[in-house]
C-alpha cells in the first residue's frame, strides 16, 4: 500500500511552467519542501514565485521563507530565487534560526517508509556531522533519536502502525525532534531539522541531495549498511564511522523489541 492511500493525500505536482525531472539529483522527480528561518531581514513577496513569507514568533525580527512543494528542476530554481535575495539582504543567523527540509513520502509503501527511517537511524550521526558548524547535536531545537528514548518509542509506534496500515497524527512529543515523523499525517513528509541557519544555497542543495539518497535507498533492495551504495557519488559529503552502524543496529533492534518483534 502506498502512503498516499493510507493518509488520503496525493503527492503535489505543481510548479513553474516547464518544470521537468532533474537527472542530476538522486531522485529526479522527488518532491521536497524547504523552510528557511532568518532574523533581521524583511522580504518582499513579489521577489519570489516559489516561496511564501511566513511570520515566525520564535525569531527576533525574523521571517520564515517556506517553499511550495518543489520537484525536479524547480528545486534549483527555488534555490536560485533565494540566492538572488541573499545578494541584497544579509540575514542575521542566530542559534534560533535553522533550515528544515521536508521529503515527500507519499509515493512510498509502508515497508519502504520503515526502511527509510531505519536508514536514518543508522546514519543519524553522519547526518549531524554534515552540520558541525552549528553544533545541532546538542541544540534543544534539534533532538537526535539517539539521545531520546521517547523518540525511539515514537518510531517504534510508527513501525507498528505501518504493519497495521494505519497512521496517527503524533508519534514524537518533541516538536524539535531532529527527524520528525509527525508531518506524515499532515503533509505526507518526513521533516529533517539538522541544518542550522544559513545563507549558503550550495549547502542547502547538498543537504537535499543527501536526504534524497536515503529515500532512494529505501525504495530499492540496497543493504541499509552498505553506505557506499546508499549514498553513491554523494558520500564525499559524509563522515561515517563503523560505530555509527553498530550503534544504529542496536537501536533498531531495541525498537523491534518494544514492538515484540
The distance of Cα 201 from the centroid of its chain, to the nearest Å, equals 16
What is the Cα–Cα distance from 145 to 152, expressed in whole angstroms? 6
Q: Say what the pTM is.
A: 0.95
For the chain, give percent helix, strand, coil, nearest 5.
Answer: 45, 15, 40
Pick the CATH number of 3-258 from 2.70.98, 3.30.590, 3.10.620, 1.10.10: 3.30.590
Question: Is the distance from CB of 142 to CB of 178 less than 8 angstroms?
Answer: yes
| Cβ neighbours for 138, distance < 8 A, ≥ 6 positions apart | none
Share of the chain above pLDDT 90, in %: 74
Q: What is the pLDDT of residue 45?
A: 66
Domain ranges of the chain: 3-258
What is the Cα–Cα distance from 148 to 153, expressed in whole angstroms? 9
Of residues 174, 207, 13, the one with CA closest to residue 99: 207
What is the Cα–Cα distance from 177 to 179, expressed in whole angstroms? 5
3-state SS, residue 13: coil
pLDDT digits (tens, 9 = 90+) for 193-248: 999 999 999 999 999 999 999 999 999 999 999 999 999 999 999 999 999 999 99
Amino acid at each position: 500500500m502506498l502512503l498516499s492511500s493510507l493518509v488520503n493525500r496525493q503527492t503535489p505536482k505543481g510548479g513553474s511552467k516547464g518544470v521537468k525531472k532533474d537527472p542530476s539529483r538522486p531522485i529526479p522527480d522527488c518532491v521536497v519542501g524547504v523552510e528557511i528561518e532568518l532574523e533581521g531581514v524583511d522580504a518582499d513577496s513579489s521577489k519570489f514565485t516559489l516561496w511564501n513569507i511566513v511570520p515566525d514568533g520564535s525569531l527576533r525580527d525574523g521571517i520564515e521563507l517556506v517553499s511550495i512543494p518543489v520537484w525536479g528542476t524547480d528545486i534549483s530554481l527555488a534555490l536560485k530565487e533565494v540566492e538572488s535575495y541573499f545578494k541584497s539582504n544579509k540575514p542575521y543567523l542566530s542559534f534560533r534560526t535553522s533550515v528544515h527540509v521536508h521529503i515527500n513520502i507519499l509515493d512510498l509503501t509502508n515497508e519502504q517508509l520503515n526502511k527509510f527511517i531505519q536508514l536514518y537511524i543508522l546514519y543519524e550521526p553522519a547526518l549531524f556531522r554534515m552540520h558541525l558548524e552549528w553544533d545541532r547535536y546538542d541544540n534543544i531545537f534539534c533532538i537526535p533519536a539517539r539521545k531520546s528514548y521517547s523518540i525511539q518509542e515514537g518510531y517504534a509506534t510508527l513501525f507498528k502502525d505501518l504493519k497495521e496500515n494505519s497512521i496517527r497524527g503524533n508519534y514524537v512529543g518533541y516538536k524539535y525532534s531532529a527527524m520528525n515523523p509527525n508531518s506524515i499525517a499532515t503533509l505526507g513528509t518526513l521533516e529533517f531539522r539538522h541544518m542550522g541557519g544559513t545563507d549558503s544555497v550550495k549547502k542547502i542543495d547538498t543537504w537535499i541531495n543527501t536526504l534524497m539518497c536515503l529515500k532512494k535507498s529505501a525504495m530499492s533492495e540496497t543493504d541499509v549498511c552498505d553506505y557506499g551504495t546508499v549514498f553513491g557519488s554523494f558520500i564525499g559529503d559524509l563522515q561515517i564511522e563503523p560505530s555509527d552502524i553498530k550503534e544504529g543496529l542496536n537501536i533498531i533492534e531495541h525498537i523491534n523489541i518494544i514492538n515484540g518483534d
